[in-house]
Amino acid sequence: MSFTLHGVPVTNGIAIGRALRIAPSAMDVKHYLVPAGSEKDEEKRLLNAFEVVRVELKAIRAGLPDAAPEEMAAFLDVHAMILADPTLTEKPLELIQHRRYNAEWALATQLEDLLEQFAEIEDEYLRERATDIRQVVERVMKVLHHGDDHQTLNSFYKSISDTDRLNEVIVVAHDIAPPDMMRFKDIALGGFITDLGGRTSHTAIVARSLDIPAAVGVRRASELIHQDDWLIIDGDRGIVIVDPSPLILEEYRHLQSQRKLEKKKLLRLKHTPTVTMDGVAVDLMANVEMPDDAGLALDSGAVGIGLFRSEFLFMNRKGKMPDEDEQFGAYRQTVEAMKGLPVTIRTIDIGADKPLDVDEDGRSAYLSPLGLRAIRWSLSEPDMFLIQIRAILRASIFGQMKILIPMLAHAQEIDQTLALIETAKKQLEDQGVLFDPNIKVGAMIEIPAAALALPLFIKRLDFLSIGTNDLIQYTLAIDRADNAVAHLYDPMHPAVLRLIAGVIRDAKAVNMPVSVCGEMAGESSMTRVLLGMGLTDFSLHFNQLLTVKKEVLRADVGSLKVAVDQLLSAIEPDELQSALNKINSL
Ligand code: PEP
Ligand code: MG
């Protein structure tokens, strides 16, 4: 039966494919595809586990003391009967043979189906037999787990990359932590869907950089979608259509090929200078997570890297941080790949939904977005911070480098940070190591307090970069990763617009370079608004660069400024809407 689920859009585009569920809700088990040719061995592994349990149950039954209650024996008999029933093995064996599922995954899939069927039985006694089935399966699972070689999510990612027609695989999961999402980088998946997450959660941001259609915050998707269900992700609207009718499928296939064509057409703009109709030159820079992204950024026509999220170098390291040489290597690789264009390295910004590590099941410790995040964490770990600064400084002689500090709010934080940068410079000088002594240091403006106390920043720093993701989160008190409040995450809230416009205006008034590097910079629906506020420096995902460039080329900043002034004086939703309509009609 076809049905539609609604979530939060992450990337534009359409994905059509079959569901691949990372973890069935009924049981947390390992998922991987067994290597081609070893299906028979896996079948044997499953049947052997059943046999072990059969012998085990028989021994327990035989060893029951005479005084044991009669129900005990009856209970063991029921379990032995369930175990012997071919329903429990036939389907899993098929899944192993035809889909190369590992035994645990195949068995868990069948268990889920059976549990669903049982849930619909009216007779209460029979319905409750579902518990017996679950217990029997758990026994078999235990045997399968015993002595295993700790296959983890890693093996899942590795094995999935061997699958044919990967672009027709749509991963469905309760949640995917950003470090896990990173591992999809080398796998060209069709798309993914998660129960949790918001538009600017870091999982969504990484997905956007991978340019695969995705919907997050699709509540209960992992429960309602079954393995192998046909799915359509409408990434523009955050809609998931499960088991679509042939007509709908046809329509979306058509849309999908249209999209591909449009993308191809956009490529023609790659070498066109980014100048508005009235001659305002605009710099479109790239946001990246890893050194390898630099080449892609350059290919997309980016004129530099406006935000290197260095924390991604620190993830998935099982507590072992990259040392100074390793970091230096990564920064040097990035700046060299950009061939003389500027590269802005943001110092580590962990915390909130960016944990350093996740456990084997993809879970991570929750870190409050109001807690020891970003520069607060760095200042509490000065030795670690100095290592990072020294690594950036050493790489600074291989190109044009800048340092960007996340989450600053207080004057003393800025002063402390600058003092540590001076210490790092002194340490390198003492060792005779070369670096750019005039390296520029800037601040992310992403806390309302910073936006409202801008002179503190202008006086002490060389440039500013507005982090709209956090600025919106903290202005509206909306956890950006929490899908329960995703509908309140509103970039068009008058308070948000006024803060952003104020920062751009005040910085420009004193010739302080200012850019926007939050997701807003990559949303083509906001390009005109930002241009009208006077913004000329954007940093965005390279995948979005040409779409934004297209908007810039069509814009007339002179008339946008007048229309955006009206938008900024609007406060009621209907006033805002009509001001926005006007901006979009220009
Ligand atoms: C932001 O907050 O807008 C930003 C660019 O930083 P991050 O998304 O990494 O928090
Ligand atoms: Mg931020």
The model's pLDDT over 70-85, given as tens digits with 9 standing for 90+, comes to: 666 777 788 889 999 9
Q: Report the percentage of the chain scoring pLDDT > 90.
A: 62
Q: Does residue 503 fall inside a structural domain?
A: yes
Q: Which of 79, 115, 108, 80 is nearest to 92 (CA)?
A: 108
- The H or E element spanning position 234 is strand 230-234
Whether 98 is catalytic = no
Which residue segment(s) compose the domain that 542 sits in? 279-585
In this structure, what token pair is assigned to residue 58? Answer: 């028989």
Number of domains in the chain: 3
pLDDT over 80 (residue 112): yes
The backbone torsions φ and ψ at residue 180, rounded to the nearest 5 degrees and listed phi first, read -70, -40
Q: Which residue's C-alpha comes closest to atom 9 of ligand 1?
A: 309
Is beta strand 514-516 parallel, antiparallel or unpaired with respect to 463-466? Answer: parallel
Among the ranges given (212-221, 322-331, 388-397), the one the predictor scored with the smallest mean pLDDT: 212-221
pLDDT at 132: 80
| pLDDT tens-digit map of 208-233 | 777 888 999 998 898 899 888 999 99
Last residue of a domain, one of 100, 116, 144: 144
| pLDDT tens-digit map of 501-541 | 999 999 999 999 999 999 999 999 999 999 999 999 999 99
pLDDT at 176: 78
Q: Does residue 150 fall inside a structural domain?
A: no
pLDDT at 159: 61
Q: Does residue 131 fall inside a structural domain?
A: yes
- Taking the centre of ligand 1 as the mean of its atom positions, its distance from the CA of residue 518, in whole angstroms, is 5
Whether residues 330 and 453 share a domain: the answer is yes
CATH number where 37 lies: 1.10.274.10
Whether residues 356 and 411 share a domain: the answer is yes
What is the total residue count of the chain?
A: 586
Whether residues 132 and 175 share a domain: the answer is no
pLDDT over 80 (residue 346): yes
Whether residues 411 and 468 share a domain: the answer is yes
In short, whether 465's Cβ falls inside 6 Å of ligand 1 is: no
d(CA 110, CA 114): 6
| pLDDT tens-digit map of 422-458 | 999 999 999 999 999 999 999 999 999 999 999 999 9
CATH number where 173 lies: 3.50.30.10
Whether residues 312 and 194 share a domain: the answer is no
> How large is the average pLDDT for residues 276-281?
98
Q: Does residue 274 fall inside a structural domain?
A: no
In short, whether 446's Cβ falls inside 6 Å of ligand 1 is: yes
pLDDT over 90 (residue 564): yes
- Taking the centre of ligand 1 as the mean of its atom positions, its distance from the CA of residue 59, in whole angstroms, is 60
In short, whether 518's Cβ falls inside 6 Å of ligand 1 is: yes
Whether residues 17 and 34 share a domain: the answer is no
pLDDT over 70 (residue 342): yes
In this structure, what token pair is assigned to residue 77? Answer: 């008999």
- Taking the centre of ligand 2 as the mean of its atom positions, its distance from the CA of residue 426, in whole angstroms, is 29
Whether residues 319 and 408 share a domain: the answer is yes
d(CA 556, CA 275): 10
Whether residues 210 and 121 share a domain: the answer is no
Q: Does residue 168 fall inside a structural domain?
A: yes
> How large is the average pLDDT for residues 340-357?
86
Ligand nearest the Cα of residue 205 is 1
Q: Does residue 296 fall inside a structural domain?
A: yes
Q: Which residue's C-alpha comes closest to atom 6 of ligand 1?
A: 467
Last residue of a domain, one of 250, 269, 288: 269
CATH number where 554 lies: 3.20.20.60
Which residue among 31, 79, 202, 541 is the active-site one? 202
Q: Does residue 149 fall inside a structural domain?
A: no
Whether residues 189 and 299 share a domain: the answer is no
Last residue of a domain, one of 216, 236, 269: 269
pTM, entire model: 0.74
Q: What is the DSSP letter of 35?
A: P
> How large is the average pLDDT for residues 357-368?
59
Whether residues 176 and 210 share a domain: the answer is yes
> How large is the average pLDDT for residues 333-354?
92
Whether residues 211 and 76 share a domain: the answer is no
- Answer yes or no: are the C-beta atoms of 109 and 93 closer than 8 Å: no
- Taking the centre of ligand 1 as the mean of its atom positions, its distance from the CA of residue 147, in whole angstroms, is 43
Q: Does residue 297 fall inside a structural domain?
A: yes
Whether 202 is catalytic = yes
Whether residues 410 and 551 share a domain: the answer is yes
